[in-house]
Amino acid sequence: MSLPAGNKQLAVVGAGSWGTALALEFSRQGYQVGLWVYERDLGARIAAERENNVFLRGFALPENIVPTPDLGAVAGAPLLVIAVPSHALRRVLSDLRPQLPPASEMVLATKGLEEHTSLRVTEVTLEVLGQDWTSRLATLTGPTFAREVAAGDPTAVVVAAQSPALAVSLQQRLSSPTLRLYTSNDVVGAELAASLKNVIAIAAGICQGLGMGSNTRAALIARGLAEMSRLAIAMGGAAETLAGLAGLGDLVLTCTGELSRNRALGIALGSGQTLAQAQASTPMVAEGVRTAAAAVQLAARWGVEMPILRQMHRVLFEHLAPRQAVAELMGRALRPER
Active site residues: 197
Give the span between the Cα atoms of 183 and 165, in whole angstroms: 10
3-state secondary structure of 283: coil
Q: How many helices (H) and strands (E) does the chain have?
A: 16, 8
Q: Pick from 34, 283, 35, 27: which is nearest to 150 by CA?
A: 27
Crossing angle for the helix pair 322-330 and 187-209, nearest 10 degrees? 110
Q: Pick from 205, 301, 207: which is nearest to 258 by CA?
A: 205
3-state secondary structure of 178: coil
Question: At a CB cut-off of 8 Å and minimum separation 6, what does 290 contact?
Answer: 86, 87, 112, 113, 115
Sign of the alpha-carbon torsion through 11, 13, 16, 18: negative
Length of the chain: 338
